[in-house]
């Protein structure tokens, strides 16, 4: 036999056949994804307990500097923060950063000028605002944050004494694994992120890494599109992606539910029907509109919802510990996947993920409130 012909035959066969070991590995990865999804869908926050904290500090003023109050995740935390502040008896204010670095920097400087006891950096990474944070530290102002960086805990280089968040890596992993599990290992995804926020980039990169490990999956596009401009950019991006990839485009992974507020109408205008792809999954916060879409099967199939109100209460509790010069609690909420299968047990009837584990009463008791 001609050696060149024999070599060509081997190459053709290698391209046509999937070795059993590779097929088994692909199947194992999909099964692993399904196990992760099953665990993340459980009621992991049914129990709530923290290290014992001090009684409520008196006569405190705290200012929440929000990244953008149009972001439903930030707004959900603000509501919990205001509720907890009312319970503990503190004066609080909220300043809106408007979704841009200059506006956020200006709001942080305004907060510093008001000389509060505490400042909350809500939903953005203040890398360019270190001089302002340094001054706040110098004046004895205690600083905590929500979603300032991907990982929970102190951020010493930013003078932040505690960053409250679920693990961004876990949230992103669950989101990607749900696409893999739901598609049985055939997810072809568009990934949406916002390069302005480090936590958003981290989530998107982690989602990309898990999709790329799936033999039958692919990342069609990794798009950096600002959350502040979703209303104008997402409809056109949706049209472009559907036109370019057609039915192969079957999943969207986004770092926040807000993108899907504008993607769902765009998909309808393209003639897509409920129950058809692309199926949208958010490694986000769990907005009211997201819960509505998931419940109604309106293109969004899942969100990795964080307990936003609980995080608002935790902000007040961590500040209370710091006002007494006590250590932070170290509490981190686990990632929780909300789908149509568990939405009612996840608080979906009220359009938010708010665990019924008594955390409000727990905090009040810890603060020794009557």
* Sequential DSSP letters for 328-360: -----PPPEEEETTTTTTTTGGGTS----S-HH
DSSP-derived 3-state class of residue 205? helix
The pLDDT of residue 11 is: 40
Q: Where are the domains of the chain?
A: 29-44+169-305, 61-166+307-333+354-366
Say if CB 350 and CB 76 are below 8 A apart.
no
The pLDDT of residue 25 is: 73
Q: Which has the closest alpha carbon to 142: 335, 340, 322?
A: 322
Q: Which CATH fold would you assign to the domain 29-44+169-305? A: Rossmann fold (3.40.50)
Helix (H) or strand (E) holding 304: strand 300-305
Query: What is the rounded CA–CA span in Å between residue 234 and residue 240?
Result: 10
Q: Is the pTM for the entire model greater than 0.85? A: no
Residue 115 C-beta-side C-alpha neighbours within 13 Å = 1
- Token output for 90: 């503190």
Residue 303 C-beta-side C-alpha neighbours within 13 Å = 34
Cross-strand bridge partners of residue 252: 190, 280
- Backbone phi, psi, residue 164, to 5°: -95, 120
Q: Could you tell me how many residues make up the chain?
A: 370
The pLDDT of residue 290 is: 92
Query: What is the rounded CA–CA span in Å between residue 83 and residue 352?
Result: 16
The tens-digit pLDDT sequence of the chain (370 residues) is 444 434 433 343 444 445 556 566 778 999 999 999 999 998 766 677 788 889 999 999 999 999 999 888 899 999 999 999 999 999 999 999 999 999 999 999 999 999 999 999 999 999 999 999 999 999 999 999 999 998 999 999 999 999 999 999 999 999 999 999 999 999 999 999 999 888 899 999 999 999 999 999 999 999 999 998 999 999 999 999 999 999 999 999 999 999 999 999 999 999 998 888 899 999 987 888 999 999 999 999 999 988 899 999 999 999 999 999 999 999 998 889 999 999 887 665 667 788 888 899 999 999 999 6
Considering Cα of 295, then 299, then 302, then 304, what sign does the dihedral take? negative
Say if CB 56 and CB 320 are below 8 A apart.
yes
Residue that is written with structure tokens 């876990």 in the block:
170
- Token output for 245: 């990839």
Domain 61-166+307-333+354-366 architecture: 3-Layer(aba) Sandwich (3.40)
Q: Which has the closest alpha carbon to 311: 84, 151, 116?
A: 84
The yes-or-no answer to whether 29-44+169-305 and 61-166+307-333+354-366 have a common fold is yes
The pLDDT of residue 203 is: 96
Cross-strand bridge partners of residue 85: none
Say if CB 301 and CB 280 are below 8 A apart.
yes
Query: What is the rounded CA–CA span in Å between residue 198 and residue 124?
Result: 8
CA-CA distances (angstroms) from residue 337 to 13, 38, 171, 205, 353?
42, 9, 8, 19, 10
């Amino acid at each position: 036999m001609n050696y060149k012909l024999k070599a060509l035959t081997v190459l053709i066969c290698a391209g046509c056949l999937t070795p059993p070991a590779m097929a088994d590995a692909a199947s194992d990865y999909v099964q692993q994804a399904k196990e992760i999804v099953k665990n993340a869908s459980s009621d992991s926050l049914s129990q709530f307990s923290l290290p014992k904290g001090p009684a409520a500090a008196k006569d405190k003023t705290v200012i929440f500097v929000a990244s953008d109050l149009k972001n439903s995740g930030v707004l959900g935390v603000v509501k919990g923060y205001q509720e907890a502040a009312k319970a503990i008896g503190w004066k609080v204010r909220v300043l809106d950063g408007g979704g841009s670095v200059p506006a956020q920097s200006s709001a942080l400087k305004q907060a510093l000028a008001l000389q509060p006891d505490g400042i909350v950096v809500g939903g953005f990474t203040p890398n360019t605002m270190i001089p302002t944070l340094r001054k706040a530290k110098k004046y004895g102002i205690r600083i905590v944050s929500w979603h300032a960086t991907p990982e929970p805990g102190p951020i010493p280089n930013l003078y932040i004494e505690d960053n409250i968040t679920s693990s961004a890596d876990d949230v992103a992993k669950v989101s990607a694994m749900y696409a893999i599990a739901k598609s049985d290992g055939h997810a072809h995804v568009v990934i949406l992120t916002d390069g302005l926020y480090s936590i958003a980039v981290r989530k998107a990169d982690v989602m990309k890494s898990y999709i790329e490990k799936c033999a039958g999956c692919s990342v069609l596009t990794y798009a950096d599109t600002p959350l502040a401009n979703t209303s104008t950019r997402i409809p056109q991006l949706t049209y472009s992606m559907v036109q370019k990839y057609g039915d192969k485009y079957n999943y969207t992974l986004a770092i926040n539910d807000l993108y899907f507020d504008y993607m769902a109408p765009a998909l309808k205008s393209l003639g897509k029907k409920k129950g058809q792809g692309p199926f949208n999954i958010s490694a986000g916060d769990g907005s009211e509109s997201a819960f509505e879409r998931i419940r109604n099967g309106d293109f969004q199939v899942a969100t990795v919802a964080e307990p936003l109100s609980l995080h608002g209460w935790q902000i007040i509790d961590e500040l209370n510990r710091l006002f007494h010069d006590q250590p932070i609690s170290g509490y981190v909420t686990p990632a929780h996947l909300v789908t149509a299968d568990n939405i009612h047990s996840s608080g979906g009837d009220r359009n938010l993920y708010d665990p019924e584990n008594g955390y409000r009463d727990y905090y009040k008791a810890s603060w020794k409130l009557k």
